[in-house]
Structure 1
């Protein structure tokens, strides 16, 4: 699999650098006025020209994250994880990916309900994606645990912080403390991207996995007779 294990790291660096670049452009062209408070990520990417960059960053990030979720699904399958457990993890990850793409393409100023639905999928389902994997590693003790021993506690800490910050973001927003809520939103995004980046540790074991398509049993025809010739 070569350097596929670096894909999660590239995703994390791409997304983190991309949204901070969008923030910088918004500040420079005065779309965002920091004197009025700290902005939400979405507000920074709502107006051109940075809205174009924002969409491109999230779309490419979503594409990479979808591939990561699919590879992770196959890896867990080859490690012996039951199908319905594995599919639950996969679909939570893919719904997070869908939400990320929606956030990038439906700006808050144009389609606020759609944008908020995408943000819910991206943040809440993204957090769930990593919680499910943590629970799986705790429940199935026989699963491989790549990386140093502190990797598990680190992931637990990041997932816990993400959950706390999502709740804090919602509560602060409802109380119109928008700057504090926005700061929580930025922290949640950084944590989720970092959790995706940590999957590089698991993907370093891809040389022990076999990823291949499996035809359905009913599509498998009888083997050709020896010496037969195609007409």
Structure 2
């Protein structure tokens, strides 16, 4: 009697493809680590630039300082994700995911508040709603990812994780609305240097 081989369904094929990607995530460690470390440096630079921009517009507040701390912690989480894949060290990977996604989501919600409270706010008509939409979507994805991970649905949790990463890229891209107002960037490590530069600039204009 001939046996008929069962044809795998589309769901099984998609699940096997996702599991293959998860396996590659753990195998090709150096490439993905280098990419996420570069993302860590880029995210950290954006966080510092946004903090300094709000501060330069005389909008220094505790909320802006909190955003700097949250952004710094989230950037560290991205670095941990790049160095510890889930197939290698699950505990470290989950810690990095928590810092990158949960703390990062809190950072972007703080940026929603700063969009309407801090300058420059010329583009808040579209930047504010865009941040609210993507932050709300990220909140739903974080909750779904946590639920799927707890009930053992690794494939669905991985899909939520990748969708969350894409939404984070969009949220970082929205900073272009504020960063287009940047003329130049100066870093002062002492108040004396800052006061000296502010005193010299009017004198140069008078000349």
- With structure 1 as the length reference, what TM-score do the two structures score? 0.70
Is 1:73 matched up with 2:51? yes
Q: Deviations over 1:156-206 (max 9, x none)?
A: 000000011100111122122222222111111100111111112210011
Task: Give the conservation status (yes or no) of the 8 Å contact 1:39–1:179.
Answer: yes
Q: Select the structure with the greater relative contact order (CA < 8 A; seq sep ≥ 6).
A: 1
* Aligned residues: CA RMSD: 2.4
* Match in the other structure for 2:160: 184
Task: Give the conservation status (yes or no) of the 8 Å contact 1:95–1:122.
Answer: yes
* Match in the other structure for 2:87: 109
* Match in the other structure for 2:151: 175
Partners of 2:52 and 2:21 in 1: how far apart? 33
Task: Give the conservation status (yes or no) of the 8 Å contact 1:100–1:118.
Answer: yes
Partners of 1:63 and 1:51 in 2: how far apart? 18
Is 1:60 matched up with 2:38? yes
Task: Give the conservation status (yes or no) of the 8 Å contact 2:120–2:181.
Answer: no
Is 1:154 matched up with 2:134? no
* Match in the other structure for 1:211: 186
Q: Could you say if the C-alpha distance between residues 159 and 175 of structure 1 is closer, same or farther in structure 2, counting changes exceeding 3 Å?
A: same
* Match in the other structure for 1:201: 177
Partners of 1:134 and 1:43 in 2: how far apart? 36
Q: Which piece of structure 1 moves more, 34-43 or 116-125? A: 34-43
- With structure 2 as the length reference, what TM-score do the two structures score? 0.78
Partners of 1:133 and 1:211 in 2: how far apart? 22
Partners of 2:168 and 2:150 in 1: how far apart? 23
Is 1:134 matched up with 2:112? yes
Q: Could you say if the C-alpha distance between residues 216 and 54 of structure 1 is closer, same or farther in structure 2, counting changes exceeding 3 Å?
A: same
Matches within 5 A, 1:79-98: 79-98=57-76
* Match in the other structure for 1:99: 77
Rg larger in structure: 2
Task: Give the conservation status (yes or no) of the 8 Å contact 2:115–2:127.
Answer: no
Partners of 1:149 and 1:205 in 2: how far apart? 16
Which has a greater percent of helix?
2
The 4+ residue runs of structure 1 with deviation greater than 6 A are none
Partners of 2:20 and 2:180 in 1: how far apart? 35
Residue 114 (structure 1) shift: 1.3
Task: Give the conservation status (yes or no) of the 8 Å contact 1:78–1:210.
Answer: no
